[in-house]
Amino acid sequence: MTSEHTHIPTDVDLRRRAEEVEQRSAAQSPEDIDSLSAEEIRRRFHELRVHQIELEMQNVQLRQAQVALEVLQARYFDLYDMAPVGYCTISRQGLLTATNLKASELLGLARGELVGQRFSRYIHAEDNDVYYLLRKQLFESCEPQSCDLRMVQSGGTVFWAHLSSTLAQDESGALVSRILLSDITERKQAEEALRESELNFKTLADSGQALIWTAGTDKRCNYFNRVWLEFTGHTVEQENGDGWLEGVHIDDRQHCHEIYVGAFDRREKFSMVYRLRRSDGEYRWLLDEGCPRYDSKGTFIGYIGHCLDITKLKRADEETKTLHAQLLQAHKMEAIGTLAGGIAHDFNNILGAILGYTEIVSDIFPPDSIATEYLDKIMKASYRAANLVKQILAFSRQANIERVPLKPGSIVEEAIKLLRPSLPSTITITLSIAAGNKLIFADPTQVHQILMNLGTNASHAMEQTGGTLGIILEDRELSQENLQYQPEVQPGKFVLFSVSDTGTGIEPEILDKIFDPYFTTKEVGKGTGMGLSIVHGIVTSCGGFVTCESEIGKGTVFNIFFPAIEERAVSEIKPMNVTPSGTERILFIDDEVMLAELGKTMLERLGYDVTIRTSSLEALAIFQKQPERFDAVITDQTMSDLTGMDLARQILQIRPDIPIILCTGYSTLISEEQAKVQGVKGFAMKPLSKNEIATLLRKVLDE
């Protein structure tokens, strides 16, 4: 590359040139100095001094420019040599005249050894035609040219290169080609791997029985496998884009397209069922499942889906009316359960306010005042309502099952109070509770549900003729002989619930089916077929059993046996007379304004410093700004924006040590176990009394 270096004149060169100019000037205009006046001589001397100074300054500038040029040239050659791509200069005859370090490295020889070599000797023999065509087009068109070809290093190693070539002139004015040389071996290998992957995908897609398709980001299908094309009898061109929709049954087309487009817009998985016309004209039911696709960089590139022919399953489903009825019934129960859960949630909030403010007012009056007596009655009524909410939640399967030792007598009496208003006046209720009946280990809500289900069934059996609904609660001791038809139950002491009616009775041939799910003899709208199966499931899960005796025209008796437990096995729970208090700083969140204000009032009366928020986002914002300001957080679960559990997760990311109490009337999204696994210290079910929340708060703070 030194031959391309521009020559810069030195100080000696400039001096020599100046003398030559002066001599020529003197010869052209001779003048007798003696004829000049002193003033003219001084003037000319002054001008000479000025010119001298000017020349010296120009000389300094020239030297500075020379240094700058040398720096630029050095930088150019550094960049040229250290460039990450190869640079070569090739004469019109095809000989290498200059290379940089990268080109030398790629070709496997030192630069001195490369100069004068024919560049084509490093081109793979099979790609020589590509290289010669590039040179021909370059010199004919004088336009830049490029190509990909294989090259061979001096040691014999083959690599893929990208050549970009342009025309230039060397210092003598001759045309040369300058080539930019890049190693693209990895890219070529990746392209080959991609081609192989695509071939494998096509082979795999065509080898099974599923109908497979893909779509691009424009929502238009761009690939169908062999199985799809054979199924429809169409070509790829006919099916591409939205063409495949033409084969979908007219009744399914709009619904199918809406699901497809909706899922595509949300970039989520989808599953849909529709009828697609086969090549013989028959419509077959397909289960089509689609999934979004992303490349290695995480960029969305479209969808892939597969379809299975489920025609046989659909026909079997249509032919099985019983199964269809069961599915409809299950959907109805689910809808009722969801509705019940929503009502229970709202009712819990109302009860929370009633209970909370009643407790606050109770603290104002003396314990023996008439106001306190009335307030106690309000509290009892509110707790009865809270128990009713638990029953609703149990029905909707949204309440936790909590088995505890209990005496069932009070539950029976409570159930009768609720059952009585729903029965016609032609039905009489008789109740017999033996004194001192033993304890059982069960969930109070489930026991209540058993009595309500059996009482409702009995009333249906007597609604036409009237009669007597009898309920008996007594202790029994059963021997092995008594339990010969109950091999899984151990002999011992039991508590018997007996529910009888004087209705129509149950036919003997169906007596062994009455506990089957969805089995019912009632007309449409009178029953779900789930009541007795629920009763049977509850009792057996508690270790007991159910028997049924019935006679047509005389009535039916259901006997429920719960294993009795010894009273000494039940630890006495002593009531807490003093509500625990504290002075810590509490962040209290509930989207119900009344409940938030109630929580603040209750806790401040116990000495706490309480900050309330009715928005989970606002609560998160205040905690993010001052995470050390609070000692504990109490939050409702069901809120807009962020749920209580989502809020708790974000708070714990900021301060993992802060105790959090999660309150809920019901939730299908989180249980106490799940909440505690994720770092929540306390879990409380609404409605909350002052003592309950104070005790739980004191517990998590002390821990």
Cα torsion through 372, 375, 380, 385, rounded to 10: -170
Going by their DSSP bridges, the two strands 609-613 and 585-589 should be labelled as parallel
**Residues belonging to the chain:** 703
* Nearest Cα residue to 167 out of 92, 61, 62: 92
* Nearest Cα residue to 428 out of 507, 347, 370, 502: 502
Query: In this predicted structure, what is the pLDDT of residue 322?
Result: 55
Token pair of 485, please?
């038809």
Query: In this predicted structure, what is the pLDDT of residue 442?
Result: 85
The residue to which tokens 């010669």 are assigned: 132
Query: Region 432-447: what's the mean pLDDT?
Result: 80
- The phi, psi pair for 566, rounded to 5°, reads -75, 140
The residues, ordered by sequence, that sit 6+ positions from 123 with a Cβ below 8 Å of its Cβ are 131, 149, 150, 151, 152
3-state SS class at 470: strand
Q: Residue 86 burial (CB < 10 Å; 0-12/13-18/19+)?
A: buried
Is the model more confident about 124 or about 319? 124
3-state SS class at 178: strand
Query: Region 275-280: what's the mean pLDDT?
Result: 92
Count of Cβ atoms closer than 10 Å to residue 163 Cβ = 22
* Nearest Cα residue to 157 out of 107, 114, 206: 107
Query: Region 486-503: what's the mean pLDDT?
Result: 88
Count of Cβ atoms closer than 10 Å to residue 379 Cβ = 16
Weakest mean pLDDT among 174-183, 236-245, 514-523, 676-685: 514-523
Note the CATH number of domain 190-319: 3.30.450.20
* 449-479 pLDDT tens trace: 788 888 888 888 888 888 999 999 999 999 8
CA gap 658, 647 in Å, rounded: 13
Count of Cβ atoms closer than 10 Å to residue 311 Cβ = 15
Query: In this predicted structure, what is the pLDDT of residue 625?
Result: 94
Question: Does 528 score more than 50 pLDDT?
Answer: no
Q: In Å, how far are 369, 374, 696 from 379, measured between CA atoms?
A: 15, 9, 20
Query: In this predicted structure, what is the pLDDT of residue 524?
Result: 39
CA gap 679, 647 in Å, rounded: 12
Please state, rounded to an integer, the average pLDDT across all residues of the chain.
81
Give strand pairing partners of 161.
149, 183
Question: What value does the CA radius of gyration of the chain take, rounded to a whole number of Å?
Answer: 47
Question: Does 521 score more than 60 pLDDT?
Answer: no
**430-455 as b/e, with b when 16 or more CB fall inside 10 Å?**
eeebeeebbbbbbbbbbbbbbbbbbb
Query: In this predicted structure, what is the pLDDT of residue 148?
Result: 93
CA gap 222, 243 in Å, rounded: 10
Side-chain-side CA neighbours of residue 256 (13 Å): 20
3-state SS class at 87: strand
Query: Do residues 591 and 636 lie in contact, with contact meaning Cβ atoms separated by under 8 Å?
Result: yes
Asked, as a colleague might, if the bond just before 687 is cis with ω within 30 of 0, I would say yes
CATH of 83-183 given 3.30.450.20, 1.10.1040.10, 3.50.50.60, 3.40.640.10:
3.30.450.20
- Distance from chain centroid for Cα 80: 51
Q: Where are the extended beta strands (E) located within 353-466?
A: 404-406, 427-433, 439-442
CA gap 624, 583 in Å, rounded: 22
Question: Does 661 score more than 90 pLDDT?
Answer: yes
Weakest mean pLDDT among 41-45, 526-530, 681-685: 526-530
Q: In Å, how far are 221, 273, 321, 503, 510 from 285, measured between CA atoms?
A: 20, 7, 19, 49, 38
Domain 585-702 matching CATH 3.90.1150.10: the answer reads: no
Which top CATH class is 400-569? alpha beta
